[in-house]
Structure 1
Amino acid sequence: MISVVIPAKDERGNIGPLIKEICHALQGLTEFEILVVDDGSEDDTFTEVMDTAAFMQCHAKAIRHERSTGQSTAILTGVLHANGQYIVTLDADGQNDPADIPAMLAKLEQIHAEHFCIAGFRKHRKDTPWKRFQSRLANKVRDALLQDGVPDTGCGLKLFPRATFLRLPYFDHMHRYIPALVRRMGGEVYIAEVNHRDRQVGVSKYTAWNRVWVGIVDIIGMLWLGRRAKIAIISRCETHRQN
């Protein structure tokens, strides 16, 4: 089973169409559920989720945080409530395209690692030139320091085993560093080129200012974690069972 986890805050008008697209992309392909974590919205995001799910007749759950706790915590809430072996995350603003999910699922047949992450790469971003410049610069700095090999860590569209995510260290904004954290535990990271679309309703919750300062603190923390990672390679394991 696939669990599609969507953190959402004030995304009325975006979340309904997104759920419809997910249902169209996955129905008949695999068993799936949709979990939307309403992170303290002040609009009707929660109601729109359940109304759309009823209309589409798909398995969906809406979980509401009493107050906003941030995207990473919302994803954690969704994963903890998920039933699927694999988790797909995507942003609630509709800029990630659910039509890319089947191709990511197809990659599972080629992956034999226990722990891994398939990270989306928005090669042709639908953002302003200034925002694209910020993102390219941030990705280059992050990759130079963390060496995670991911060209677009900010892409919300990712796929990974639920068990893998639950073994990662949790901290605020950790959702941007899932590939690096997976590599830290000895897992594998794969890149999938995905579509990127314009936001139809509302405005982004992020600004250049909050991205820069939060990013500096996060990268320092990631470097600290990386220096303390120890990966055990088991050369032998035997079990004796009493008759």
Structure 2
Amino acid sequence: MYQFTIIVPVYNEEDNLERVEKELLAYTKIATKKTKILFVNDGSKDKSQTMIEAICARNEAFSFLNFRENRGLSAAIKAGFDAVDTELLGYIDSDLQTAPEDFNLLLAQSNTYDLVTGVRSNRKDSFVKNMSSTIANGIRRAFTDDGMDDTGCPLKVIKTEYAKRIPMFEGLHRFLPAMILLQNGKVLQVPVQHFPRVAGTAKFGVWNRLLGPLMDCFAYLWMKKKYINYTIESKG
């Protein structure tokens, strides 16, 4: 029945989840592909899991994975990749600083491209957050040569067969376009809307926006050198 799964990582987002339910449910009614939602609760310590279970109980298209303990954003995304059974998957943050309806802009390009990522137009974050993200993106772009202006944008559509081949490690969610390029896939960036966070607190600060990505770049270079890539010509 379903063609597209949206992965929603959650960590202590009880103040946002009712809005997440409302907006994603509304999106399923206008989506250009039959869509379902997969929450991945990354060991939240608030009421997030209780709320997620209630949301899934009243909405057929919603399901969840619940981590025993907090393992980080990359682990949550990887668990989502492993669980998806649709041809396409997407990813959006539970703070909803990007708009679910913009998935349709990305899906429109999904026949031609293997990963389509949003670029946050007119970002509504603080000067410090914007500047640290700009610097981090510049560092990643210098190391990966992926041509992406905003790899941290939490709005992406990926062909599932490519996503499942990504060897995820902590921090590697920042390198998804580069990891698709390693598979000789095609990537595209599309401008999307961006909004201020209206509830909850940000999970990343200046320190882990700059130092973490720099360290991860060296891990990416090692992985690029060692990456196994092949194409099967025929079977028998």
TM-score, normalised with respect to structure 1: 0.89
Shift of 1:15: 2.1
Please name the residue that 2:187 is paired with: 189
Corresponding residue number in structure 1 for 2:71: 69
- Listed as ranges, the matches of 1:137-152 within 5 Å are 137-152=135-150
Structure 1 position 60 matched with structure 2 position 62 = yes
C-alpha displacement of 1:20:
1.7
Per the alignment, residue 172 of structure 1 pairs with 170
Q: Would the aligned equivalents of 1:50 and 1:60 in 2 still touch at CA under 8 Å? A: no
Among 121, 124, 131, the alignment partner of 1:123 is 121
- Segments of structure 2 that go 5 or more residues without pairing to the other structure are none
* Residues 124 and 230 of structure 1, relative CA distance in 2, 3 Å threshold: same
Check the 8 A contact 2:10/2:94 in 1, yes or no: yes
2:223 is the alignment partner of 1:225: yes
Report the equivalent of 2:14: 12
The secondary structure found in structure 1 opposite 2:71 is: coil
Question: C-alpha root-mean-square deviation of aligned residues, in Å?
Answer: 1.9
Q: Is the 8 A contact 1:15 1:94 kept in 2?
A: no
Of structures 1 and 2, the larger Rg is shown by 1
Q: Which amino acid aligns with 1:221?
A: A
Residues 87-123 of structure 1 deviation map (CA, whole Å, 9 limit, x = unaligned): 10011111121010112112224x1x6xx21111102
Find 1:38's aligned residue among 26, 34, 41.
Answer: 41
Identify the residue that residue 107 of structure 1 maps to in structure 2. 109
Report the secondary structure of 2:179's partner residue: helix
Structure 2: distance between partners of 1:157 and 1:28: 17
Query: TM-score when scaled to structure 2?
Result: 0.91
Aligned counterparts of 1:233 and 1:161: Cα–Cα separation in 2: 17
SS at match of 1:215: helix
Tell me the matched-pair count: 233
Query: Cα offset for 1:80?
Result: 1.8
Q: Do the aligned partners of 1:16 and 1:49 also contact (CA within 8 Å) in 2?
A: no
Q: Secondary structure at the match of 1:83?
A: coil
Please list every run of at least 4 consecutive aligned residues from structure 1 whose deviation after the TM superposition is greater than 6 angstroms.
none
Q: Matched residue of 2:66: which SS?
A: strand
CA distance in 2, matches of 1:229, 1:51: 42
